[in-house]
Structure 1
Amino acid sequence: MNIAKPLAGFRIAVTSDRRSAELIEAFERRGAEVTHTPLLRLAPLDDEQQLLAQTHKLIEARPQVVVITTAYGLRRWLDTAEAAGIGDELISAFSQSDLYVRGSKAHGSVRALGLEPAGVAKDGRSSSLLEMLKGKLASATVALQLHADSDHGMPQQMREFGARRVIKVEPYRWQDTSSDTGISALVEGLCAAHFDAVTFTSAPSVHALFAAANARNRLPALQRSLAERVAVATVGPVTASPLEEAGINPLVPERHRMGAMIGQLVEHLGSLGTLQAQTVHGQVQLRGRTLSIQDQNCELTPGQAELVRALIEAGGSVLSRDELSAALPEVSSRHALDMTLSRLRRALPQPEIISTVIKRGYRLNV
């Protein structure tokens, strides 16, 4: 096993569409096996007329307040406006309004236009953005750039704050992929902990996974597995929020960037380390779900890996069936445990490294 690669032996599910190639390459370069299943895809902007009509409406209305929710949405909006020859008019309308921005990336995109926002919700939360707008919208015309096809209830809240008019601008939409066969495989794989980790780069993708699992009557099993067995990596607190509400404790980097998420997950999985022991058949190493016996690699199922982990950690001591069953919550009987151990032995290059101790249990043959 090449332990120079920190993710060798680990399996990671990547759920994003945008920038997924960058994420996959980063994990594979470090030795991970990656499965890519986009939970949401950006719909092509086939009908630009709707966006242009919304933009013309904004330019004519000259809103007192403009709210920008995503950097990507702003870029796509400006690209469409510039292609239609109204980019300068749109930026002029921005410059004559109070700009409020959600998140650091959107803030950077606004500043790149030579504009300085009146306020920035640095934690990236819509609720924080709305809190900033209290007392500032009386009789105002407000333009709101939607986050994909979700407005998070913001238009109604703005009207309650006194806004006279809210112009919604929708630069992009998500395509629902929850019925794709690949989503079923992802849901089942996460429920069975066939992955060591899963990554999310947006809150809508978390909601899409939960909805897909619920439609398949697997939501409780999925959430339990993400809470107890599969490492969950997010790009920031907004993405983490729906997971936390479900009782899942995801990894959240201090810097809300993809690179920081990658680094944090590498560190987390790497901290699991390589378990190793000397047996009668030589050195045994377990990393993720890859078992190495005298440089022969064997790929284990999640249950098999948990059994090997427990046996290695016991250091040659005998583990009873009850103790081994505790490592496999999905095993419901001693017979099922014996069958799992039997399949494990058949999968090993040297089955004899696991010894049966009559009437007592099993141990690593050290």
Structure 2
Amino acid sequence: MTTAPADRPLDGFLIGVTAARKVEEQVALLERRGARVEWAPALSQDPNHVDDEQLRAATEDVLARPVDMFLATTGVGMKAWFGAAERWGMLDDLVAAIGGAEILARGPKSVGALRRQGLRELWAPESECFEDVLAHLRGRDLSGLRIVVQEHGQSLSMASHALRRQGADVTVVTVYRVASAEDPAPMFRMVDLIADRKLDAVTFTSAPAVAALMDAAGVMGRRDAVAAAFQADVVATCVGPVTAAAFELWGVPTIQPSRSRLAAMIKLMETELPARRSGTAIPVAGHLLVLHGDTVLLDGVEVRMSAGPLAVLQRLAVNPGHVVSRQELLCALPGGASGSEHAVEMAVARVRAAIGTRLVQTVVKRGYRLAP
């Protein structure tokens, strides 16, 4: 098999891109690494912003009474709201109202938008999931507190009801809503390419994009074929856990970087796609283990290992499911056969700590193996 040049690790791969925003940057990153790109925006390139009158009325409502808690959900939404408030001459009042409240933010983009206005969040979840913001509040008594929620592209009505059940007085400000792409033809073509397994991977940068793709597949009568393709040959690549969670309904496995960033997602694909093609992707006890050089991925998430545990895992992966003796594993360790079997036991323990105890099995008096 021909190996792709080091500076073009995605040479020969055809990758679908569903993003509507920052698409030029994503396509450039992929093409620079050798990939061919099929672009089909899942959503409108210009989200449907609520008209000025409606947003202004909502802003005036926010300013009419003190705010006890403010929940920021998206950076683009906060920037749009601050920009509109500035046009109306209300920015200072809005910043003051939010600044006097306890501020919780969903993720770094909303944090960034807040901080540009001199506002500081009290807490934000590492997961960047709004569900974790709600979980953070679940045990608190919110009786009588006025909570303002900046709604992102999808409705947060259920979240608002949950907060009201805890006694909160909730005001929802809808800055924009996500709309489907104006021209559905490229998305229909993307569905066919996925269902026919002609793409190696498809990237997703938002949960609504996942929903839009699966809706299009449903309209075409190809939803089952798309899900099956993602479960087998086409890699669903998500920018982060919020996007990946949207695939759970269809049982689609995904890969995602440890940091929810576009560059990190592309970097992950550089390792994952060539490794899968070269046959170093190993099913282990219901999980997918990928070894590519010194990189280890478990279900698409990078796992860091030191040299000893990595050497043991690589040796076990040579013949998955077959028993490897302690002596053979000892020889595979950086210190070689001069070490002790205790070193093997320690290395195996660290492998298990990194990828899970069930994935490496002990075969009494014989050695170890990767679980079938």
Q: TM-score, normalised by structure 2?
A: 0.70
1-side partners of 2:163 and 2:276: how far apart? Answer: 47
Deviations 1:151-195 (A, max 9, x none): 1611111111111x3211111121223871222111111001111
Alignment partner of 1:220 is 2:216: no
Q: TM-score, normalised by structure 1?
A: 0.71
Kindly state the Cα deviation for residue 2 of structure 1 after the two structures are TM-superposed. Answer: 9.5
| AA in 1 matched with 2:115 | R
RMSD, aligned α-carbons:
2.0
- Whether contact under 8 Å (1:178, 1:208) holds in the other structure is no
Alignment partner of 1:74 is 2:72: no
Kindly state the Cα deviation for residue 244 of structure 1 after the two structures are TM-superposed. Answer: 3.2
DSSP-derived class of the 2:256 partner: coil
Kindly state the Cα deviation for residue 48 of structure 1 after the two structures are TM-superposed. Answer: 1.5
User: Residue in 2 aligned with 1:60?
Assistant: 64
Kindly state the Cα deviation for residue 221 of structure 1 after the two structures are TM-superposed. Answer: 0.8
- Whether contact under 8 Å (2:125, 2:132) holds in the other structure is yes
Deviations 1:1-47 (A, max 9, x none): 99322112111110011111100010111111111111112335372
- Whether contact under 8 Å (2:39, 2:186) holds in the other structure is no
User: Residue in 2 aligned with 1:157?
Assistant: 162
| AA in 2 matched with 1:199 | T
- Whether contact under 8 Å (2:72, 2:110) holds in the other structure is yes
| AA in 1 matched with 2:93 | E
Specify every segment of 5 or more residues in structure 1 that has no aligned partner in the other structure, as ranges: 276-366
Residues 273 and 221 (structure 1), Cα distance of their counterparts in 2 relative to 1, 3 Å cut: closer
Instruction: State how 1:262-277 maps to structure 2 within 5 Å.
Output: 262-272=266-276
| AA in 2 matched with 1:158 | L
- Whether contact under 8 Å (2:71, 2:147) holds in the other structure is yes
Specify every segment of 5 or more residues in structure 2 that has no aligned partner in the other structure, as ranges: 280-372
Deviations 1:50-93 (A, max 9, x none): 11111111111222111101111111111111122111111000
Alignment partner of 1:3 is 2:4: yes
| AA in 1 matched with 2:121 | P
2-side partners of 1:156 and 1:273: how far apart? Answer: 47
Residues 191 and 158 (structure 1), Cα distance of their counterparts in 2 relative to 1, 3 Å cut: same
User: Residue in 2 aligned with 1:87?
Assistant: 91
| AA in 2 matched with 1:17 | A
Kindly state the Cα deviation for residue 251 of structure 1 after the two structures are TM-superposed. Answer: 0.9
- Whether contact under 8 Å (2:48, 2:178) holds in the other structure is no
- Structure with bigger gyration radius: 1
Deviations 1:267-295 (A, max 9, x none): 212324679xxxxxxxxxxxxxxxxxxxx
- Whether contact under 8 Å (1:126, 1:152) holds in the other structure is no
2-side partners of 1:179 and 1:153: how far apart? Answer: 30
1-side partners of 2:53 and 2:62: how far apart? Answer: 14
2-side partners of 1:29 and 1:18: how far apart? Answer: 19
1:29 to 2, 13, 32: 32
- Whether contact under 8 Å (1:67, 1:142) holds in the other structure is yes
- Whether contact under 8 Å (1:68, 1:74) holds in the other structure is yes
| Equivalences, count | 274
Kindly state the Cα deviation for residue 124 of structure 1 after the two structures are TM-superposed. Answer: 1.6
- Whether contact under 8 Å (2:71, 2:149) holds in the other structure is yes
DSSP-derived class of the 1:138 partner: coil
